[in-house]
Amino acid sequence: MKPSKSQTLIQLLVHARLAARLLVAKFTFLNQLMMNKRIFVTSCLFIIATGALFSFGRMKTTGAVKDERDAANAGLTLPEKFKATAIAENLGSARHLAVTPQGDIYVHLGALKDGKGIVVLHDDGDKAAIKSSFGSFSGTGIRIKNGYLYASSDSEVFRYKLNGKSEVIDPETPEKIVGNLVTRRSHKPKAIALDNNGYLYVNIGAYSNICSELDPNRKGCPILDSAGGIWRFKADKLNQTQRDGTRYATGLRNVVGLDWNQQDNQLFVMQHGRDALHDLFPSLYTVQQSAVLPAECMYALKEGDDAGWPYMYYDNVKHKKIQGPEYGGNGEKEADAKYIDPVAAYPGHLAPDGLLFYSGSQFPEKYKNGAFIAFHGSWNRAPEPQAGYFVVFQPFKNGKPDGKWEVFADGFAGTKEEETSGHAVHRPCGLAQAPDGSLYVSDDNKGTIYKITYNK
């Protein structure tokens, strides 16, 4: 039956009322949702802002602490009560150092800067001002002995007469002590040392990694007659050549850090060990073994000593002299006993470029007569992280290493990423002792000179 008009009207009113209620409910729901959304968004923004402020505050606090530490120690990490200051910066390739009793520092540059190879600084405490520069040759070795400043290029050694204030009298005309030293392809720097009997010792590095390309038939490395060792010359005789010297010790691939041990009256050297064990002999050595072998070794030398390069290397994991694979070794076979043992060994490829026996009184007693070693840092330890870029301390007793070495000054490389990738900001190279017993460290990457002191 068809609904009446009144029934239809009632139904329409009911639907309208229901629709109105639904509309109100929907509006209420949407309004509540929007309110909740605003609350949610506001809460999120509050949390984010609070977190950001906290992080920023923490970052500022952490950064401030780091800045304070860096300002106090020039970015270095040191033992308790030690302090480091960057007393000079941007000098160029600052290699080895020599210090006078008056507080002057002679810095030898590995590359000429403004046409000069030696920079003279004066230590005024927290800063070192440049006094002058001289020398038309770059190089590494530099020493003061018996009123003379000795300095080397890659092929010669010169000396300058000093006055009573330890200043160079005539910087334009040095005397040539020895010339025509072998310098080919690689390992060119001539590090030097002097003894107490009038002799000069010069490293002449091997111009090869392992000599295999020069000795294909294994008859004996042909370059050892003129390189790969330490040569001795008279310190006061002019115009000598390499033939006038004595091959004091042989079988040393390359030496940059060396020093005369006054306590033991003996020459000590730091050898740069060979490279590429895995690259050349992948069936005998893994990449991991090649990354850490062989050791960087400290040797105490006597005339006639043979450290064994290229016929052997020292394995700092096995603590044995191992016959080189180029000469019949297999990674296990021990080398001939005629080769001298190192007196201390350090991880491979760290490049020891500086050696100093500490004779001062400023540092605690444990450092007296011990050795500081500047490690320049590695480039070929992959897949292991690159490492080094620090100064270590090696305890000594009665003129010989005694006990485990320890990292003394670290942080030269910069961040951990810069260190492990091999992109070090600073690289330690030379070491010298100040008249008051402070320790100087040179950096040949940025040209910084660090001064390390002890606060009792």
Instruction: Summarize pLDDT for 198-248 with one digit per residue, the tens.
Output: 999 999 999 999 998 899 989 899 999 999 999 999 999 999 999 999 999
Could you tell me the two tokens for 105? 């520092």
At 10, which helix (H) or strand (E)? helix 5-73
| Same structural domain, 306 and 402 | yes
- What is the span of the domain harbouring residue 30? 1-73
Residue 193, SS3?
strand
The pLDDT of residue 287? 96
pLDDT digits 0-9 by tens, 108-161 = 999 999 999 999 999 999 999 999 999 999 999 999 999 999 999 999 999 999
Q: Does residue 310 have a cis bond before it (omega within 30 degrees)?
A: yes
| Same structural domain, 375 and 254 | yes
| Same structural domain, 180 and 306 | yes
Count: domains in the chain: 2
State phi, psi for 15 to the nearest 5 degrees: -60, -40
Spatial distance between the Cα atoms of 305 and 249, rounded to a whole number of angstroms: 5
Spatial distance between the Cα atoms of 20 and 12, rounded to a whole number of angstroms: 12
Could you tell me the two tokens for 71? 């300002």
Neighbours of 222 (CB within 10 A): 11
Residue 291, SS3?
helix
The pLDDT of residue 23? 39
DSSP conformational letter for 169: S
178 Cβ contact list (under 8 Å, min separation 6): 156, 157, 200, 202, 233, 239, 240, 241, 242, 244, 245
Torsion of CA 189, 194, 195, 199, to 10 degrees: 90
Residues of the chain under the 50 pLDDT cut: 1-69
| Same structural domain, 67 and 109 | no
Could you identify the residue written with the tokens 């507080």?
103
| Same structural domain, 235 and 292 | yes
| Same structural domain, 261 and 307 | yes
Query: Nearest Cα to 392, choosing from 425, 421, 359, 351?
Result: 351
| Same structural domain, 272 and 379 | yes
Of the three residues 73, 103, 121, the one that is the final residue of a domain is 73
Residue 263, SS3?
coil
| Same structural domain, 274 and 345 | yes
Half-sphere exposure of 224 (CA within 13 A, CB side): 21
DSSP code string of 14-83: HHHHHHHHHHHHHHHHHHHHHHHHHHHHHHHHHHHHHHHHHHHHHHHHHHHHHHHHHHHHTT-B-STTEE
| Same structural domain, 21 and 150 | no
Q: What is the CATH number of the domain that holds 339?
A: 2.120.10.30
Torsion of CA 91, 95, 96, 99, to 10 degrees: 0
**Residue 15 vs residues 30, 44, 132, 183, 227: alpha-carbon distances, Å:** 22, 42, 103, 106, 109
| Same structural domain, 57 and 185 | no
| Same structural domain, 365 and 423 | yes
User: Residue 214 CA to chain centroid, in angstroms?
Assistant: 31
The pLDDT of residue 71? 60
Spatial distance between the Cα atoms of 211 and 303, rounded to a whole number of angstroms: 23
Under a CB-based contact definition with an 8 Å cutoff, are residues 87 and 97 in contact?
no
| Same structural domain, 23 and 153 | no
